[in-house]
Structure 1
């Protein structure tokens, strides 16, 4: 793993995910590192990158609709009383340095900069790939955001501006449509220890890896596209004071085939205990 080439996660010699850490993307997509493709152990790809209808969806990433007026989600910004609008406010996440880099674990320092180049947040990100059994592995994703601006920073979703149900922002996974999509429970806008989505060929099980993440609500969309996220600020701002930080951890089981809910629940319990 050298230069700007994607970092490749491998388990038992098999590539299971690629991490593009220095992306060359248009400003309007809110450039940020992302995981794509992510694969099951059997080789099925379970992420999508820049799909035509939502080009700012970048596989697996940390994306926030608004940090102090800056758009770190990409695309249009939702304005109360008006709706989505194109603004010149897209920020970017910039790689600073590696703290650890192996075939199964990455630890990285990043900066979240406004379109004008001002740093708002410093991030420490840890991503690990762990084997589970012959049919499944786990992607363990932890990020800590620290306010490096000399003022309070409000983190908001479009729902905080009145867009009903649009509480997204935080860890987000854009998945390909499996055809007949199966969701373990209707948790959109609600708290739950875990949620699974998928179809006959593959299943993803998302679990909050710590109490703070389990206290967040899930964003789960199956109409028009399949996307799952853990929401930092559902319908009210999360305000970080100067120097304050927030940490979230999401563990995702990537499995071949269709998992019954009992097995999905057992995986989730095993990984966050």
Structure 2
């Protein structure tokens, strides 16, 4: 059973009576984010405000060039991504979820972008946790919103915990077997995995690109010191333009596993993800009418 419980300015996600993650949405924050995201031993797979980049927060969303405004850094001239409300919270079943609305507010107080984001957590064992992330970005007024190419962007962005980063002894691997920043940076792949040792546990976290996303399979932004992001906008010359009444929808699955990329069955779990999408698509098709058919 997946339970989602509000405690102050956090949503606590519990799966099978064990805490898996917390979503932080307080008004004092520069942006909402998911931290911690726990491995089977209870330690976090992601880092919050590490000393080298204090503006990195677990699993989060940000962009430094939104109509000329910075929603990446956390400085006097930066914008804020502000929690507006939770549209829906589903708790107590095999799938728990919440949907949140956020405003991207510039330093001058203007709402330059809005988003609706949904997290859906599956009731799976501690050594194979799954959650889905969807975000829909909208132009709030009758003018387009431009997301300029930049490496200071992540929709979403994951900051790995020490132990999973290449710098601290971990390994990055993509679907082609390319490794670490040297092999994976800018390379297109339907998934990427980071694994290593946290405490005494060999474990990892993988991100799966949804096949309906733009530029699938996405090119990845990776750094050996910890960031991982499906940043397709960085690797193109023109900006991403979100037109009025034409929102940008992005979807991903996250897989938190024990073992490395092989022991954690990352490639197989990604194929299961694709198969689940095919089953949904086939169930959405109208049934063929038996009228007029001959046996």
Which bracket does the TM-score occupy, shorter chain normalised? Answer: 0.7 to 0.9
Paired residue for 1:193? 190
Paired residue for 2:280? none
Number of aligned pairs?
Answer: 248
Paired residue for 2:230? 230
Paired residue for 2:279? none
Q: Point out where structure 1 has 5 or more consecutive residues left out of the alignment.
A: 26-30, 76-85, 159-165
SS of aligned partner of 1:169:
strand
- Closer, same or farther in 2 for the Cα pair 1:40/1:110, shift >3 Å? same
Paired residue for 1:83? none
The separation in 1 between residues aligned to 2:124 and 2:268, in whole angstroms, is: 12
The separation in 2 between residues aligned to 1:266 and 1:260, in whole angstroms, is: 9
- Closer, same or farther in 2 for the Cα pair 1:168/1:190, shift >3 Å? farther
Deviations 1:14-42 (A, max 9, x none): 110000012523xxxxx110011110133
SS of aligned partner of 1:211:
coil
In the alignment, is residue 118 of structure 1 matched against residue 120 of structure 2? no
1:175 is aligned, of 157, 160, 164, to 160
1:7 is aligned, of 5, 11, 14, to 11
| TM-score relative to the length of structure 2 | 0.78
Deviations 1:186-240 (A, max 9, x none): 3311221111111142111111123215343211111xx2111111511431011
Contact 1:92 1:114 in 2 (8 A): yes
Contact 1:148 1:243 in 2 (8 A): no
- Closer, same or farther in 2 for the Cα pair 1:115/1:3, shift >3 Å? farther
Tell which deviates more after alignment, 109-118 or 2-11. Answer: 2-11
Q: CA RMSD in A?
A: 2.1
Contact 1:153 1:240 in 2 (8 A): yes
In the alignment, is residue 36 of structure 1 matched against residue 21 of structure 2? no
Contact 2:81 2:105 in 1 (8 A): yes
| TM-score relative to the length of structure 1 | 0.83
SS of aligned partner of 1:148:
coil
Residue 242 of structure 1 deviates from its aligned partner by 2.7
- Closer, same or farther in 2 for the Cα pair 1:167/1:61, shift >3 Å? closer
1:20 is aligned, of 13, 21, 24, to 24
Residue 257 of structure 1 deviates from its aligned partner by 2.7
The separation in 1 between residues aligned to 2:263 and 2:77, in whole angstroms, is: 42
Structure with higher Rg: it is 2
Residue 183 of structure 1 deviates from its aligned partner by 1.5
Contact 1:65 1:74 in 2 (8 A): yes
